[in-house]
A and B are shown apart, each in its own frame.
Chain A
């Protein structure tokens, strides 16, 4: 909401500079988002009167004007405006002034005649698009005064962020009240003195409230014989300064009072109301209304309308009807001032997709107490500015008057909650300045009566906040909490995640974070089978786009997209991982965590000492093994799968017994194609839940060998189908405790190895924990190993 410095000063005196005021309001909880000086661009423009006009000797379309600007000598100004005439007041841009259109006024000769300034149109002053002639000013402005000041343009506009709990601050008086709390200065409320006519309103109209739950109060006045037309300059200026559009004097006055008191009003053309009366009721089924914005709207029976004897004439608290609006021919006006139920207004505005200044206030909670005062104020202004006479009396139907809220305030409690040492008298003063009525029942017991405009204050804690913010948060001490620090439970998940992340980062992987939403088509792109349970997703009702319409069930598609994105930006060293939740939808809501990674393109720095190379299956396997190692998981097995995401011959699932911990492998060529990757990509994805479950952190010291180890190399030729792990397992099984480690250091197929065979070379380390192994003992054992390899796997020793 916008307020202006000058407008505020109508209701309270204060000596704060604009910046100071902004600071004070901000520290009261009314954040000032911007400050705008209105007159900054109109310096040097003053009010002048054209005292004499004579023809220009050298130009038909120009005249020479004598302009009195309040000084000793009149200025001669050359002018070409069609509406220039003797006696008119107009803005004069004096020498040196720079206009908003970018023109700087200089002493000039126009067709041989001196011109000491310029008479201006509205367009030249940046006020409107009107360039037809000079801007004519009211005759009562003293000559020579600043044009900005004369029109109230020398004002400062503050853009305020009003939090939803403070609808009372959506008005000049509301903000003025906050300034009062800050300064202690008195409020100056408008003096309303009505001059009522003979005609009695009770004979002219009636108000029936059929839905008092949605409309606890409705008041009306009738003003007869108005002349609808443009509002006076000051009123237009006021409204424009806070960004409210100007319509006609009657509507402008209702808007002015809205900004002044925060009370939305509506003016009906009295003669367009059937039977000239008002019925406040729920809409009937299938009823329609065309609102002021000329949109026909279908109503539902939960919507509150203002109706005449026959039909809805306004959407209660939201917008008036088109058929009963004020027009140039309107002579008699029925003015509405009411209080509507916030939830009802909100629901209706939401359902119809409209939001207006009125609905904005009603749905946050207007002030039922101000209803008649705002009505009287508007009636008075209409009588003053649009002529007309105010009918005698007011119709004020108030079926649901609530007693004023009374809240107990305990000063001790205030100081306890805030950590302050305020005196009760300070608290009382703060509340009084905010128009709370405070009564004491003893030093520790006060009764606070809440004014009707503070719908947000219902409990003692709300009063405590009022005291805190006016006292100033900065004046509250800064302390540290006392009391016990709760002892947290151990958290293995955090530990597992931390270890895995540290390992992957140390291994050269960059951490990615992706959105939790994904595109349902991604499951086709990574070739999930039609019955893959990961196609069962939670769906967004209001997604930003189809690409973000379901919650992810796997981390892999986004990582492939990340690879694609980087490839498209010529980055080919792709090593990314992510940890995060996936969302399972079958039955119970679950969010298991996953850790996944991708290697693609190239590995290395691509320099002399570290040339690029392509990652392969064993790079991704190494990462997988590392993850298992940092989790202390050793008893796992690998098994090839037929997961369509992967190359059928280059993938594996990691099993812990029957439980799958994760999968890894080379992406299937079609997956690569689907993500436009011109090279192979390797993926892994672990189920963090199983990792956390299986992780073993406990470590026990294993003695450092005291007896020497003996290393023997062994190269064997076996059938190509023999997996490298099989000889390894056999060697361990044969050697028992005496085999400390088996390391495969070469795999070879080709020359010197027969077709269909391969050569495997192992380094076996023999060691005994209890003695130094003799050569003889090692030889015996080694021979036994060779023999077993031959018997069980048909392995031939390679010479």
Chain B
């Protein structure tokens, strides 16, 4: 019996080696371990053994069973991995075939720029408010200290409506509306569309501005410089140089224009900055006392500053679109780029 067991073990181990499918392996296992299997048969014969033989043979039988069980398990494992490998190989794909990209759109480049500007001033506590595009002469000009015979009121610049209204030429009327509606402190920015009679490579008859206004009891011109410096650094980068030049706006005094160093030549002077090394980005100034008077604020009690910038201009410092009218053609090849 001992010899028989050893023969079964040898035979089985040999047979396992040549098996190459899980099915064949299973039937082989049954050949040994099945109800009528070879090993089962031998084990059944154990009862006929003498008391002396039984422990020795029993031990051997257990060893054979254990060895075969392990051999079958290993073979199962091996076959499984082989099969998985084959399957994985068969499933290999052409990684250069195009992906199934989910459709995604994009915000208009002007809106992307506008959102960045809003976010920067938002961090400094400026609230977004808006106002109407169709305005009256009072809000667009008179209340902003722009008397009736000021050059900015020429028919040439302003779109008038047949009903006597006009399309606002800047977002500054919202300053007036905001101050009429609330008491100081006021800390707002006003994004939106405005309109001027102009149509060439650097002008569109409709464009976007962000106007800002801060009014409080202790606001100084140096604060204006501070806020706009923070803005320019965040918008254009830490390396950006800036300067403030005196200028004229009817509704601010003192008035300024802000330049940043030309990003193309790093301030050395090139064609895109007209050789000066500087690029104008916005107009600003301390709120003129007459504007406060127009909204019944007391200029002895409060001071403030205002600023206004063209969004297309800011956007184009980055994008460098040669003809600014391209912004409003809505060519999908254009819109996709940003």
Contacts and interface: CB of A to CB of B under 8 A. Distances in A.
Contacts of B244: 473-474, 476
A150 to B, nearest CB: 30
Interface stretch (B24-32, B41-49, B245-253): B245-253
Contacts of B160: 540-542
A583 B289 CA distance: 34
6 contacts: A28-B246, A33-B274, A464-B253, A516-B167, A575-B105, A604-B103
B107 A511 contact: yes
B207 to A, nearest CB: 10
B149 A347 contact: yes
A485 B163 CA distance: 40
Interface stretch (A257-265, A416-424, A626-634, A765-773): A416-424
Given A419-B221, A539-B162, A481 B132 contact: no
Contacts of B58: none
Given A468-B254, A507-B105, A515 B246 contact: no
A417 B149 contact: no
Contacts of B197: 542, 544
9 A-B pairs closest in CB distance: A508-B103, A419-B222, A29-B246, A419-B220, A163-B248, A485-B125, A465-B254, A488-B127, A469-B246
Contacts of B243: 27, 473-474
Interface in A505-530: 505-517
Given A164-B150, A551-B134, A516 B193 contact: yes
A481 B221 CA distance: 10
A583 B216 CA distance: 35
The residue in A538, A577, A604 that gathers the most chain B C-beta atoms within 10 A of its C-beta is A538
B105 A583 contact: no
Interface stretch (B8-16, B62-70, B79-87, B225-233): B225-233
A482 B162 contact: no
The residue in A464, A479, A565, A610 that gathers the most chain B C-beta atoms within 10 A of its C-beta is A479
Interface stretch (A125-133, A203-211, A566-574): A566-574
Interface string B287-313: 011000000000000010000000000
Nearest to B182: A486
Contact of A480 (B193, B226, B286): B226
A571 B255 CA distance: 47
A501 B127 contact: no
A322 B289 CA distance: 47
A29 B134 CA distance: 33
Contacts of B195: 516
B322 interface: no
B319 to A, nearest CB: 14
Interface in A584-625: 585, 589, 591, 603-605, 607-610
Contacts of B230: 480
A165 interface: yes
B186 to A, nearest CB: 7
Given A417-B303, A510-B106, A513-B110, 8 more contacts: A477-B225, A483-B218, A488-B127, A507-B105, A513-B111, A542-B160, A573-B332, A608-B97
Given A350-B154, A548-B205, A479 B226 contact: yes
B134 A459 contact: no
Interface string A189-216: 0000000000000000000000000000
A416 B217 contact: no
The residue in A419, A543, A609 that gathers the most chain B C-beta atoms within 10 A of its C-beta is A419
B131 to A, nearest CB: 9
A480 B233 CA distance: 14
A159 to B, nearest CB: 11
Nearest to B136: A589
Contact of A510 (B255, B327, B335): B335
Contacts of B247: 29, 31, 163
B199 A27 contact: no
Interface in B239-293: 243-248, 253-256, 274, 286, 288-289
B206 A516 contact: yes
A610 B100 contact: yes
A465 B221 CA distance: 10
B59 interface: no
Contacts of B101: 605, 610
B336 to A, nearest CB: 7
The residue in B187, B204, B274, B330 that gathers the most chain A C-beta atoms within 10 A of its C-beta is B330
B223 interface: yes
B161 A541 contact: yes
Given A417-B220, A479-B222, A481-B227, A473 B104 contact: no
Contact of A544 (B97, B132, B134, B205): B205
Nearest to A363: B149
A516 B133 contact: yes
Nearest to B217: A483
Interface string A743-775: 000000000000000000000000000000000
Contacts of A27: 243, 245-246
A418 B221 contact: yes
B245 A478 contact: no
B237 interface: no
A501 B150 CA distance: 41
B238 interface: no
A33 B221 CA distance: 26
Nearest to B230: A480
Nearest to B290: A459
Contacts of A706: none
B219 interface: yes
Given A491-B128, A589-B134, A610-B101, A515 B328 contact: yes
Nearest to B161: A538
A482 B105 contact: no
Contacts of B154: 350
Given A508-B105, A540-B162, A610 B98 contact: yes
A346 interface: yes
A31 to B, nearest CB: 7
Nearest to B222: A419
Contact of A29 (B193, B245, B331): B245
B187 A478 contact: no
Given A417-B221, A589-B132, A609 B98 contact: yes
B254 to A, nearest CB: 4
Contacts of A184: none
B330 A478 contact: no
A581 B160 CA distance: 18
B223 A459 contact: no
B108 interface: yes
Contacts of B155: 542
Nearest to B111: A511
Contacts of B331: 565-566, 569, 571
Contacts of A575: 103, 105
A575 B104 CA distance: 10
Given A481-B219, A486-B187, A609-B98, A476 B225 contact: yes
A462 B286 CA distance: 11
Given A486-B186, A517-B205, A591-B133, A505 B105 contact: yes
Contacts of A468: 221, 246, 254
B159 interface: yes
B168 to A, nearest CB: 11
A477 B222 contact: yes
B333 interface: yes
A515 B133 CA distance: 12
Contacts of B17: none
A779 interface: no
A573 B333 CA distance: 10
A514 B246 contact: no
Nearest to A558: B330
Contacts of A562: 330
Contacts of B219: 481, 483
Given A478-B222, A581-B133, A484 B185 contact: yes
B52 interface: no
Nearest to A30: B246
B134 A469 contact: no
